[in-house]
Structure 1
Amino acid sequence: MPVADPRTVYAATHVERAALADDLAGLTDAQWATTSLSDRWTVEETVAHLTAAASIGPWRWVRSVLGARFDFDRHNDRRLAEHRGTTPAETLARFRAVQDSTTSTWGPKAAWLGEVVIHGEDIRRPLGIVRTPPVETTTTVAEFVASRDFTVAGKTVSEGLRLEATDGPFAAGDGPLVTGPTLALVMVMAGRAAHLDDLDGPGVAALRSRLARTPPREAP
C-alpha cells in the first residue's frame, strides 16, 4: 500500500472505521465508560475524537487551534465535546455517519489512517476485543509512524533500534532488535506500553524505559 496513494489510504481508513463501528455495536454503558489506552479519554470520548478528526477540515482546524491558544489538549477536548452524543448510541451513530469521510486537516493522509488504527486499538484492547487490520494497512501505518514525529512520537520512541515485524514486511532502523506483530510495533511507537509484552528482542528493554518517560500523545 503506497503511502503516497491517497485513494488507497482513504479506502483503508474507511474499512477500519466501519470495522470499529461494528465492534462497538452492543457495548454496555459500563464498557462505553471504560478508560481507553489513550488514558485521558474513555471509550466513548475516543470515538467522539475520531468523529471530530473526520469532520474538521484545514481552516476549521486552524480556527479551533487559535481559539484554544495553541493548547492542543483544549482544542481536542472542545472538538470531542462537539461530536459526542447525549448517549453512547448517539455517539456511535455520529461516528458511523463519517465512516466514508475524506475530510482531514493538513498533513499526510497516512496520519489519519494511523489515527483510526491506533485509537481503534486504544478502544479494543481494554475491552478484550481482538482485531488485526490487514497487514497492508498496519505496514503503511508502521512505516509512517517510524519515519517522523507527527501525531505520535514514533521516530523518537524507536530511534537507535531495529524493528522487524513477524507478520509482514515492515522493518526499520538499526540497533538492538525488536520483533513482533506489526500492530504491536505501531502501538508501542505510539506510546502504548500495554503492547510491550507482545514484543521480543534485546531492544524491548529500551522501549520499556522510553515509554515509562513518555506518555501517549493525541493527534491534534
Structure 2
Amino acid sequence: MDRDESWRVIAEQRLSLADLLESLTEVEWEAPSLCDGWRVRDVAAHVAMASQPPGAWFMVREGVRARGRFHRLNHDVAVRHAGRPTSQIVGELRDFAASRALPAVTNYRNVLFDILVHGQDIAVPLGRDRPMPLDAARAGATRVWTMGWPFWARRRLRGVRLVATDTDWTAGEGAALHGPTDALLLLLTGRIAVALPRLSGPGRDHLAGRASAGRGHAP
C-alpha cells in the first residue's frame, strides 16, 4: 500500500472506531482491553492522541516524569488523556480522522498497523466484530515483521514460518503456522493468546507455551 492509500485506510479506521466507541456502555469503556494494564478508555485515548501529537517539550517533560521508560510514558499520557469525557474522545477521533500529523518518532506505516491492532484491543474483549481490511493487515504484518523494536517479532517467533491463508504473505523459517492475516498481525504484535486459537500447523505447538504472555501493549 502506498502512502495515500494507507492514510485513506487510517481515516476510515478512525471513523469506524469512533462509531464503535460511541455504541459502548459506561461499563464497557472501563473494561480491560487486550493491552495489559490498559482499559478500553485508555486505548481509545491513545488512538485519539495519535492524530494530534504533542510537541517536543511536552515529550521531554513526560520522559523525565516517566524516568526514561517509554512504555510508562506512553501509558501515563494515555491514561491522563482518557480522563476526558468519552464523547470528547469520540469527537477527537472524528475531527482528526483525516489528519496526517505524525509524532516525531513514527511514520504512516506504523500508524496504519497501530489503528488496526488497537481496534482489536478494544473490540475483541468486548465481543465485538471488527474486520481488518486485508491489504492493510498484510502491509501491517510486513511492517511489524521488519521493524524490530518494540515487538522484536523475528526474534520472538524464531523457528516458525508464518503463512497467511487469505492472501499471498509469508515470513520466517521453520515449523509452519497458518492463519488469516489479521490473526498473524495480532500474533506479531504480541497478542499470542488471542491469535493462537485462530492459527493451525506445527508452529502452533511451538508457541503454545508462550500463550500465557499473550496480552499486548500500546506501541
TM-score of the pair, normalised by structure 1: 0.88
Q: CA deviation at 1:66?
A: 4.3
2:136 maps to a residue whose letter is T
What is the RMSD of the two structures over their aligned residues, measured on CA atoms? 2.1
CA distance in 2, matches of 1:100, 1:61: 23
Q: Which runs of 5+ in 2 are unaligned?
A: none
Q: CA deviation at 1:194?
A: 1.4
Q: Does 1:30 align with 2:27?
A: yes
Deviation sequence 1:3-31 (CA, Å, 0-9, x none):
xx322222221121112111222211111
Q: CA deviation at 1:159?
A: 2.1
Q: Give runs of aligned pairs for residues 82-101 of structure 1, distance below 5 A.
A: 82-101=80-99
Q: Structure 1 residues 183-192 or 52-61, which shifts more?
A: 52-61
Q: Which runs of 5+ in 1 are unaligned?
A: none
Report the 3-state secondary structure (helix = DSSP H, G, I; strand = E; otherwise coil) of the residue aligned with 2:159: coil
* Change over 3 Å in CA distance of 1:87–1:95 after alignment to 2: same
Q: Does 1:16 align with 2:16?
A: no
CA distance in 2, matches of 1:200, 1:124: 23
CA distance in 1, matches of 2:146, 2:207: 16
2:23 maps to a residue whose letter is G
Q: CA deviation at 1:72?
A: 1.8
Q: Structure 1 residues 69-78 or 116-125, which shifts more?
A: 69-78
Deviation sequence 1:76-130 (CA, Å, 0-9, x none):
1332144325332222222322222212222342111111111110100011111
CA distance in 2, matches of 1:177, 1:61: 45
- Aligned sequence identity (%): 29
Query: Which residue of structure 2 lines up, in the alignment, with residue 71 of structure 1?
Result: 69
Report the 3-state secondary structure (helix = DSSP H, G, I; strand = E; otherwise coil) of the residue aligned with 2:201: coil
1:72 maps to a residue whose letter is F
* Change over 3 Å in CA distance of 1:198–1:60 after alignment to 2: farther
2:218 maps to a residue whose letter is E
Aligned residues of 1:10 and 1:102 also touching (Cα < 8 A): yes
Q: CA deviation at 1:162?
A: 0.8
CA distance in 2, matches of 1:182, 1:77: 27
Query: Which residue of structure 1 lines up, in the alignment, with residue 205 of structure 2?
Result: 205
Aligned residues of 2:196 and 2:208 also touching (Cα < 8 A): yes
Aligned residues of 1:152 and 1:218 also touching (Cα < 8 A): no
Q: How many residue pairs get matched?
A: 216
Deviation sequence 1:131-159 (CA, Å, 0-9, x none):
22221000000111112323423222322
* Change over 3 Å in CA distance of 1:139–1:81 after alignment to 2: same
CA distance in 2, matches of 1:30, 1:189: 30
CA distance in 2, matches of 1:181, 1:149: 22
2:210 maps to a residue whose letter is R
CA distance in 1, matches of 2:194, 2:213: 14
Aligned residues of 1:17 and 1:116 also touching (Cα < 8 A): yes
Q: Structure 1 residues 49-58 or 162-171, which shifts more?
A: 49-58
CA distance in 1, matches of 2:151, 2:183: 15
Aligned residues of 2:35 and 2:218 also touching (Cα < 8 A): yes
Aligned residues of 2:43 and 2:122 also touching (Cα < 8 A): yes
CA distance in 2, matches of 1:38, 1:203: 24
Aligned residues of 2:196 and 2:211 also touching (Cα < 8 A): no
Q: Structure 1 residues 119-128 or 101-110, which shifts more?
A: 101-110
Aligned residues of 1:190 and 1:216 also touching (Cα < 8 A): yes
